[in-house]
Chains A and B, each alone.
Chain A
Amino acid sequence: MATQEQVITVQEEGREVAYRYLASVEELKKTGQLTRWIDDHDILLYEYEGQIKALSNICRHFGGPVGYHKARDGEFVCLWHNWRFSCKDGSCLTHPGLPLRQYGLKIVDEKIYVDLLG
């Protein structure tokens, strides 16, 4: 595994995967949920049932911020038009068939990295 300040590269299933630095575990612990743009990806990072997960923060309805509100009862509610999404897997509870994309994560030395292509 090669490590740079903002990127780690890992061999996975025959391909070299570059993970980008997203946040520290400590940052996430403060609120249990945060959002961050990396390049042109708006990413919603959160902890749910003891697991750290990441979803696209872009609602598939009109592009609203899914993680604007703190999740309640295992659900995110998009600020703009109240579309609801499951914290478990990003599935859309109001309009099934339009789930949020999940991102692969890697946690190394209390730092959270994201695979923008995985």
Chain B
Amino acid sequence: MKRITLTAQFQAEMDCPKEVVMWNYYDHEHLVGTHYKLYDKARVLAERDNWSLVYRSKRMPLLPFYTSGIGFQYMDGNVMKSFHKDSIGFMLEMEADFKDLPNERCSVTVTYRINTHPIFKMFEPFFKKIFKKWFWATWEEDAPMRLRRWKVHKLGFKDFSGIEYVNKKLAKPEDGRYEKYEFNPPVKTASPIKTVQGVERPFTQNTELGYTD
């Protein structure tokens, strides 16, 4: 039977190198942190250098219930490809294409596709509406995370350590140079996300004071 593909595509730019955004997209653990209002559980089922198989439970916009499912994602050069099969029954294919821009900026183009029965053509406007809301909701939560990650990197931040001059109460080094930001998946973790326990959000709501001005 002939099938159709529902497609939605979005593009946005960030004031940081593409590797920072790739790190953010590939970091499963932040789903129940940064996106704690959208995701309630995450677990890495299997993982190698540039691919991972992940369980997630989340609430999509406009849908009044949580859906859980399995997603496979991998890096193909500067493109992250993923396949999600949710309890709703559709398989969602997503491609995130990362491109460098001048002045340590980048652009990200995300394409969502669902290949399905022609009868669902009538739902295409709804599909586009859901994914438009989803893309921008997650983008707005991720954007300050990426900018801060880039900022602390430029201050000399090292993962699982911090900023040496801050921790050791020293004056900031005069040398303002910083290393190129490298993205080397998988993202290092010390949480139970790779165990049967997985990770869960710590609360469903809390008083947010926000990022530092």
Q: Which residues of A contact B77 (CB under 8 A)?
A: none
> Which DSSP category, helix, strand, loop or mixed, fits chain A's interface?
loop
User: Interface centre among A39, A80, A84, by most B CB within 10 Å?
Assistant: A80
**Residue A69 contacts which of B29, B32, B171, B208 (CB distance < 8 angstroms)?**
B208
A58 touches B166 (CB 8 A): yes
**Residue A70 contacts which of B162, B166, B191, B206 (CB distance < 8 angstroms)?**
B206
**Residue B209 contacts which of A31, A62, A95 (CB distance < 8 angstroms)?**
A31
B157 touches A40 (CB 8 A): no
A36 touches B166 (CB 8 A): no
Chain A 68-87 interface residues, beta-carbon cutoff 8 Å to B: 68-70, 72, 77-82, 84
Q: A79-B34, A82-B33 are in contact. Are A40 and B207 (CB under 8 A)?
A: no
B161 touches A60 (CB 8 A): yes
Q: Which residues of B contact A41 (CB under 8 A)?
A: 166
Q: How many A-B residue pairs have CB under 8 A?
A: 97
Nearest CB of B to A3, in Å: 23
Assembled-state Cα–Cα distance A75/B163 (Å) = 22
Assembled-state Cα–Cα distance A118/B169 (Å) = 6
User: B interface, how many residues as a size bin?
Assistant: 35 or more
Assembled-state Cα–Cα distance A77/B204 (Å) = 13
**Residue A61 contacts which of B34, B145, B159 (CB distance < 8 angstroms)?**
B159
Assembled-state Cα–Cα distance A107/B153 (Å) = 32
Residue of A with least CB distance to B23: A62
Q: Which residues of B contact A82 (CB under 8 A)?
A: 32-33, 191, 199, 201-202
- A contacts, CB < 8 Å to B: 31, 33-37, 39-42, 56-58, 60-65, 67-70, 72, 77-82, 84, 94-95, 98, 101, 117-118
Query: Mind listing 16 A-B residue pairs with CB under 8 Å?
Result: A35-B212, A40-B155, A40-B172, A41-B166, A58-B152, A58-B162, A60-B161, A60-B162, A63-B157, A77-B203, A77-B206, A80-B145, A81-B33, A82-B202, A84-B202, A117-B170
